Amino acid sequence: MIKKDLITKLIDERIAELNNGLYVVELTISPSNVIRVELDKVSGGVTVTDCMSVSRNVEHNLDREEQDFELHVSSAGLDKSLRHIKQYIKNIGRELDVVLQNGTKFCGEIVEVTENTVILCHREMKKLEVKKKKELVEEKYDLAFSDIKEAKIVISFK
């Protein structure tokens, strides 16, 4: 089986050369040597050129005669859960749907990201009993990354 540290080294070499904010979100290697790499960027999107460049560096530095492998390099899709702190930081100001390990759900705008937490702000017009009129009510949720089972960006076409 191909060693994960070797693949990581090859990817990191190319990312350092490109120096454009690219980073690895996920790297998996199956027992049958299927290598899957998901990339993202600190700002902006991952280009096809970014994926090709990383792919070529891995491909050209592995010997297919020694070990056969299958390589897939792609960008982290919008439909996938956030898995890296840099993804949370990149999406500050966007709406996020979160499901915790215990099944509790939250939705709100990412307002802050710390080393261990993401802070969401949920704003909603609510009718208050006392005043008999609607007011904007704001709730903040401080969620630990370790408690998050799934966190997806809400895609809006407004």
The mean of the pLDDT values for the chain is 93
Confidence at residue 42, expressed as pLDDT on a 0 to 100 scale: 94
Condensed to tens digits (0 to 9), the pLDDT of residues 4-33 reads 999 999 999 999 999 999 999 999 999 999
Which has more pLDDT, 124 or 106? Answer: 106
Domain assignment of residue 32, yes or no: yes
98 CB burial (10 A radius; 0-12, 13-18, 19+): buried
Domain assignment of residue 115, yes or no: yes
Does 128 score more than 80 pLDDT?
no
Give the pLDDT mean for 125-130: 74
Confidence at residue 125, expressed as pLDDT on a 0 to 100 scale: 81
Q: Are 29 and 1 in contact (CB under 8 A)?
A: yes
Q: What is the pTM of this model?
A: 0.86
3-state secondary structure 74-107: EECCCCCCCCCHHHHHHCCCCEEEEEECCCCEEE
127 shares a domain with 93: yes
The percentage of residues in the chain with a pLDDT greater than 90, rounded to a whole number, is: 81
Domain assignment of residue 80, yes or no: no
Number of domains observed in the structure of the chain: 2
Question: Taking Cα atoms as reference points, which of 73, 87, 90 lies closest to residue 148?
Answer: 87
Condensed to tens digits (0 to 9), the pLDDT of residues 45-100 reads 999 999 999 999 999 999 988 889 999 999 998 889 999 999 999 999 999 999 99
Which domain, by its residues, includes 117? 85-153
Q: Residue 131 — pLDDT band, cuts 50, 70, 90?
A: low
Question: Which of 47, 75, 103 is the C-terminal boundary of a domain?
Answer: 75
102 shares a domain with 45: no
Confidence at residue 84, expressed as pLDDT on a 0 to 100 scale: 95
